[in-house]
Chain A
Amino acid sequence: MATYEDDHNLPASSTSLKPVPRRPRPDLSNFFSSLSLDSTAPSASTDPSETGAQSSAFTSLARAWQQSIEGNEVLESLIEQLIEEAQGGTAAKGVSQEFLDGLERIPKKELVEADICPICNTSFLLDQYPLVVRLPCHKSHAFDLECISPWLKLHTTCPLDRIDLTKKKTPPPPPVDEEEEDWDDNYG
């Protein structure tokens, strides 16, 4: 069974363990060495060279901060991704593998050039060995198995009419959109 990543030409494991590019850690050694320069120079507060050293020290501190802020962005996106994954884990799951396996197959000889998969928008017959399934909601609702599988593993609805394909067995609660309640009323 092809994975979702295979189906979409994604590098393996892109949805699970995404390697986050490692940013260089902020290097404070320059800053501290310029600081020590300052502390070892007694009564040098009027020395212009010391001011230069201080300013370069602060510049390197600023650079270090910039780097660490960039690092935070990566961290933020990682946290966001983890939260998303955590929420996805508790959300209503899609159909079972048995359901996918049991979907009606459409033989190649019944397909014509104009029949396209609504998900990839490509003619089924472009594939020499098309593996096309029909959803039980309507006879015209045909999809490449490799296109519909990733959807149905996470949802139980037909992409074309949103009919719940599992309704006869166990009706799952309708998806609740909670995001809208968190809106910001400082608008305007």
Chain B
Amino acid sequence: MALPKRIIKETERLVAEPVPGIQAVPHDDNLRYFDVSIHGPTQSPYEGGVFKLELFLPEDYPMTPPKIRFLTKIYHPNIDRLGRICLDVLKANWSPALQIRTILLSIQALLGAPNPDDPLANDVAQRWKEDEPGAIATAREWTQTHAAP
């Protein structure tokens, strides 16, 4: 099946002008499947970590959003233990004017600004609200244990 021009252009640009701290490499045998790595933002509990994600462009992309999941374990109120991400632009607020790079930037921003009021991982979110320093310490520990580059 021919790959839509848009996907080819997006991929070319991702390789030619990569977003700082973000890598997205398509699989040779499936150009809709990307191995992604995102560096934890500085001044966040994820600083120093490199997080692996998988990204898949469904057949009707860009009319439907890419499917993205963290593969690296991460302690974050909006990411559950299966790596699923609670982010509006990946669901109801998706728009075909968004792109792989804008979505990955949103995810990087989510690491820098956890939102415990819109949780996917309830227990993490609860801890984040009740004991923020403790939760941040755990997030930092997990980063060192699971996301060491």
| A and B assemble together | yes
A110 CB within 8 Å of chain B: no
Most buried by A among B2, B62, B93, B99: B62
B6 CB within 8 Å of chain A: yes
Chain B residues with CB under 8 A of A184: 80-82
Question: Are A179 and B91 closer than 8 Å at their CB atoms?
Answer: yes
Chain A residues with CB under 8 A of B95: 157, 159-160, 162
How many residue pairs link A and B with beta carbons under 8 A? The number is 72
Total residues of chain B contacting the partner, CB 8 A = 30
Chain B residues with CB under 8 A of A10: 1, 59
**Contact residues on A (Cβ < 8 Å of other chain), bracket:** 20 to 34
Question: Are A119 and B81 closer than 8 Å at their CB atoms?
Answer: no
Tell me the interface secondary structure of chain A in the complex.
Answer: loop
Give A11 Cβ to nearest chain B Cβ, in Å: 6
Among A16-55, those with CB < 8 Å from B are none
A153 to chain B: closest residue by CB: B63
A118 CB within 8 Å of chain B: yes
Question: Are A159 and B97 closer than 8 Å at their CB atoms?
Answer: yes
Binds A, one of B36-44, B109-117, B120-128: B120-128
Question: Are B60 and A15 closer than 8 Å at their CB atoms?
Answer: yes
Q: 1/0 contact trace for A147-177 toward B, CB 8 Å?
A: 1001100100101101000000000000111
Give A88 Cβ to nearest chain B Cβ, in Å: 10
Question: Are A180 and B9 closer than 8 Å at their CB atoms?
Answer: no
Interface residue from B5, B59, B96 paired with A15 (Cβ < 8 Å) = B59
A121 CB within 8 Å of chain B: yes
Q: 1/0 contact trace for B1-40 toward A, CB 8 Å?
A: 1111110011000000000000000000000000000000
B148 CB within 8 Å of chain A: no
Per CB-CB distance, the 7 closest pairs between chain A and chain B, nearest first, are A159-B97, A118-B97, A159-B95, A9-B2, A187-B81, A175-B92, A187-B121
Given contacts A119-B96, A121-B6, 11 further A-B contacts (CB under 8 A): A11-B1, A118-B96, A118-B97, A147-B96, A151-B63, A157-B95, A180-B118, A183-B120, A186-B81, A187-B81, A188-B81
Interface residues of A (CB under 8 A from B): 4, 8-11, 14-15, 118-122, 147, 150-151, 154, 157, 159-160, 162, 175-177, 179-180, 183-188
